[in-house]
Chains A and B, each alone.
Chain A
Amino acid sequence: MSRIIERVRQALNVQANDGRDRLVFAKSEEFINCAHATVTDEERGGWMESIRREAQALNLQVHECPDLDACGEAIAALARERDPEWGTLKRIVRWSDPLLDELGLEGRLGEDIPVTTVPMADSFGESERAEFRREVIASYIGITTADYLLADTASLVLLGGRGRARSVSLVPSIHVAVVPGSRMLGSYRQMLSRLNGQTLPSNVNIITGPSKTADIEATLVHGAHGPREMHLFVVAS
Chain B
Amino acid sequence: MLNQDPLKYRELAAKAVEDKQLHRALAKMRDKVGRNAVNLYNQLSPGHDPRQDAKAVRRKIVDNLDVVLETLSANIRARGGHVHLAETGEDAVEYCLGVARRFEVSRVVKGKSMLSEEIHLNDALEAAGIETVETDLGEYIVQLKGEAPSHIIAPAIHYTREQVGELFAEKLDQPYTDDPPTLTAMARKALREKMLTADMGISGGNTACAETGHVTIVSNEGNIRMATTMPRVHVVLLGIEKIAATLEDHDILLRMLTRAAAGQKISTYVSYVGGPRLPDEPDGPEEFHLVLVDNGRSRILADPDFREVLHCVRCGGCLNVCPVYMAIGGHSYGSPYCGPIGAVFTPLTRGINTCHHLCQGETLCGACKQVCPVDNDLPRMLSLLRSKLADGDRRWDVRRQSLPTKLVFGAWSVIMRHRRMYDALSVMARFGQRLLPRKNGWIRRLPGPLGGWTRGRDFPPLAQESFADRWARRDKTGRGA
Contact = CB atoms under 8 A, between A and B. Distances in A.
Same complex for A and B? Answer: yes
Interface of A: 2-5, 7-12, 14, 16, 20-21, 23-25, 27-28, 31, 54, 86, 118-124, 128-129, 132-133, 136-137, 152-153, 155, 160-162, 165-167, 170-171, 188-189, 192-193, 195-196, 199-219, 221, 223-227
A133 B283 CA distance: 7
Interface residues of B, number: 93
B12 interface: no
B185 A223 contact: yes
B470 to A, nearest CB: 50
A17 to B, nearest CB: 9
A166 B284 contact: yes
Interface in B177-215: 180-181, 183-185, 187-188, 191-192, 195-196, 210-212, 214
A213 B220 CA distance: 6
Given A4-B85, A224-B184, A166 B250 contact: no
B180 A217 contact: yes
A210 B212 contact: no
B137 interface: yes
Contact of B60 (A24, A124, A162): A24
A225 B67 contact: no
B245 interface: yes
Contact of A216 (B86, B87, B156): B156
A221 B68 CA distance: 38
26 contacts: A2-B85, A7-B294, A12-B65, A12-B301, A25-B211, A86-B192, A123-B280, A124-B280, A153-B266, A165-B281, A170-B226, A188-B254, A193-B248, A196-B246, A196-B247, A202-B275, A203-B277, A214-B220, A216-B137, A218-B29, A224-B184, A224-B220, A225-B195, A225-B221, A225-B222, A226-B225
B381 interface: no
A50 B214 CA distance: 30
A31 B247 CA distance: 10
B267 to A, nearest CB: 7
Contacts of A196: 246-248
B268 A24 contact: no
Contacts of B344: none
B139 to A, nearest CB: 8
Interface in B251-305: 251, 254-255, 262, 265-284, 292, 294, 298-299, 301-302
Contacts of B187: 224
B280 A122 contact: yes
A162 B225 CA distance: 19
A140 to B, nearest CB: 13
Contacts of A121: 280, 282
A203 B64 CA distance: 27
Contact of A5 (B32, B70, B277): B70
B122 interface: no
A167 B283 contact: yes
B61 interface: yes
A122 B279 contact: yes
Interface stretch (B157-165, B326-334, B402-410, B459-467): B157-165
Contacts of B67: 20-21, 24
B316 interface: no
A171 B195 CA distance: 10
B183 to A, nearest CB: 6
Given A27-B248, A192-B248, A219 B180 contact: yes
Nearest to A137: B196
A214 B195 CA distance: 20
Contact of A200 (B214, B220, B284): B214
Contacts of B222: 170, 211, 224-227
B79 interface: yes
B220 A155 contact: no
Interface string B382-393: 000000000000
